[in-house]
């Protein structure tokens, strides 16, 4: 048996295959959990081979134990700048990678002993074309959805929501109406609620239906969540996906061996700066790897933070505001009580005792990392699942505040930061966030729900 490969010599068992292939969607928020899953499976004895697009390609030198197979995508360089362009790009990745992936997967399978060695492909839920390719070549497929169970229920319900007139949104007065089929969602929290045209609505419907097909046709569905966080939504998902095993193995960043898959260079000096700050005093600000904002919103956010008087650490990603910079006078106004870096090691920042709040775009990875760090959140969602995540942070977990869409206003930002970081209300949110941290710790402890799910996933893969 080669190093890093799962043992297949169990008495009375069939010959078991022991290499896992993975294909992430090439965006940071999808790459991270896929590589965390890879690390988890590798630690459990599987060899790992990562297929990947040229766009946002991972750095193989960071993962010397894995094999890498680049798949030419033929797409232009540059990150899509709008929601519609992002959806079109995801569909284009499917189309352009399909033929070269078929060629490279077939070549891998043609190597001596490879068919017996390969256990399955784990593909992102948004890569239906590649799931189909693997299935036609006789490779079992598992699907990883990098969002919440609640969000996937939105995927499943989308046709009914459209039939019932929730979507597309016809008037702004609809936005705060409750969605009785998916409480506590309101219309504004649904995937596609902010679609600005019939074209965007149709793109969203296509993306959701393809993801559902990928999951329903798979040999298993992997979710980066855990039972104590989403018990009801996980139970409903299992009912809706009768026949497809569901593995809630999150939080993956707590179970997987540490290994960075960041596409941006992390500035670790911010951890030393945090060491000098008072406990629970710092507001950490990061709007993720893909979300963007206008220059006007950036200025209002900056002045709201400045006027709050709160110490802050701001991971201000290049390109966040399409070329705009922090406003003149911001550094002077904050008087050395803040630090701005290009990118930060977020998991470590959120686990640091000096951090008392997290202003986030509300992506699922960030929401999970905030919960696991026991840090209350101020959510400013932009698109996709972020609105629903923000709704859960505020209304279900009661561990944060949601700033709904529209133009940011510095007075509202200042007030929200003060609510989050100070006083009885802030302490209440902090206490509930610490309870989420405790639940996550229990899930990943020996005998915890996620540990048991990982055992089930490993056994499931070995028997495919």
- Distance from C-alpha of 75 to C-alpha of 96, rounded to nearest angstrom: 8
- pLDDT band, very low/low/confident/very high, at 77 (cuts 50, 70, 90): confident
16-35: pLDDT as tens digits: 458 999 999 999 899 999 99
Least confident of 6-15, 134-143, 182-191, 238-247: 6-15
pLDDT digits (tens, 9 = 90+) for 396-433: 999 999 997 678 899 999 999 999 999 999 999 999 99
Pick the catalytic residue from 73, 124, 189, 233: 124
- Edge-first strand order for the sheet with 246-248 is 67-71, 47-53, 19-23, 118-124, 141-145, 221-223, 246-248
Residues of the chain with pLDDT > 70, as a percent, come to 94
Structure tokens at 297: 């919103």
**pTM of the entire structure?**
0.92
Is residue 30 among the annotated active site residues?
yes
Which range among 139-153, 243-257, 316-330 shows the weakest confidence by mean pLDDT?
Answer: 316-330
Residue 57 · residue 263 · CB < 8 Å: no
What's the number of CA atoms in the CB half-sphere (13 Å) around residue 122? Answer: 31
269-421 CATH fold? Rossmann fold (3.40.50)
Helices and strands in the chain, H and E counts: 17, 13
**What topology is assigned to 19-261+446-462 in CATH?**
Rossmann fold (3.40.50)
Q: How far is CA 273 from CA 265, 304, 326, 405, 407, in A?
A: 18, 22, 20, 32, 32
- Helix (H) / strand (E) containing 247: strand 246-248
Confidence of residue 172 (pLDDT cuts 50, 70, 90): confident
- For residues 359-377, give the mean pLDDT: 95
How far is it, in rounded angstroms, from Cα 246 to Cα 234? 8
What's the pLDDT score for residue 321?
Answer: 73
Mean pLDDT of the chain: 91
Domain ranges of the chain: 19-261+446-462, 269-421
Q: Locate tokens 């590589």: which residue?
A: 35
Give the Cβ contact number of residue 149 at 10 Å.
26
Domains 19-261+446-462 and 269-421 agree in fold: yes
Which residues 6+ apart lie within 8 Å of 61 measured at CB? none
């Amino acid at each position: 048996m080669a190093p890093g490969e799962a043992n297949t010599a169990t008495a009375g068992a069939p010959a078991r295959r022991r290499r896992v292939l993975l294909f992430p969607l090439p965006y940071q928020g999808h790459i991270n959990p896929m590589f965390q899953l890879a690390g988890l499976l590798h630690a459990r004895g599987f060899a790992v081979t990562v297929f990947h697009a040229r766009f946002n390609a991972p750095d193989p030198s960071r993962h010397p134990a894995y094999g890498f197979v680049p798949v030419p995508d033929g797409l232009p360089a540059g990150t899509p700048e709008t929601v519609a362009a992002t959806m079109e790009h995801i569909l284009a990745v499917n189309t352009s990678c399909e033929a070269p992936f078929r060629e490279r997967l077939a070549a891998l399978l043609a190597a001596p002993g490879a068919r017996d060695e390969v256990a399955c492909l784990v593909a992102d839920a948004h890569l239906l074309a590649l799931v189909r390719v693997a299935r036609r070549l006789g490779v079992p497929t598992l699907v990883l959805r990098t969002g919440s169970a609640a969000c996937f229920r939105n995927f499943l319900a989308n046709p009914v929501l459209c039939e019932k007139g929730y979507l597309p949104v016809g008037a702004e007065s609809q936005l705060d109406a409750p969605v009785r089929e998916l409480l506590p969602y309101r219309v504004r929290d649904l995937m596609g609620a902010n679609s600005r045209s019939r074209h965007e609505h149709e793109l969203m419907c296509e993306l959701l239906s393809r993801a559902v097909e990928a999951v329903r046709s798979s040999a298993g569905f992997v979710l980066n969540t855990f039972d104590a966080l989403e018990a009801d939504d996980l139970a409903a998902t299992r009912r809706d996906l009768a026949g497809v095993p569901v593995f809630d193995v999150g939080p993956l960043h707590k179970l997987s061996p540490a290994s960075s898959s960041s596409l941006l260079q992390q500035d670790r000096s911010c951890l030393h700066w945090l060491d000098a700050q008072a406990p629970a005093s710092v507001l950490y600000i990061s709007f993720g790897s893909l979300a963007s904002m206008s220059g006007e919103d950036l200025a209002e956010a900056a002045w709201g933070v400045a006027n709050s008087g709160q110490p802050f650490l701001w991971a201000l990603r290049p390109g966040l505001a399409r070329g705009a910079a922090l406003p003149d006078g911001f550094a002077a106004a904050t008087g050395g009580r803040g630090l701005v870096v290009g990118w930060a090691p977020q998991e470590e920042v959120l686990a640091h005792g000096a951090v008392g709040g997290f202003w986030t775009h509300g992506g699922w990875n960030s929401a999970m990392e905030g919960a696991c760090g026991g840090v209350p959140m101020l959510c400013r969602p932009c698109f996709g699942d972020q609105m629903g995540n923000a709704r859960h942070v505020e209304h279900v977990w009661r561990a944060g505040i949601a700033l709904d869409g529209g133009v940011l206003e510095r007075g509202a930002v200042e007030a929200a930061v003060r609510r989050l970081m100070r006083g009885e209300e802030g302490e209440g949110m902090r206490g509930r966030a610490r309870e989420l941290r405790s639940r996550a710790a229990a899930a990943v402890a020996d005998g915890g729900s996620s540990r048991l799910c990982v055992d089930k996933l490993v056994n499931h893969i070995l028997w495919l």
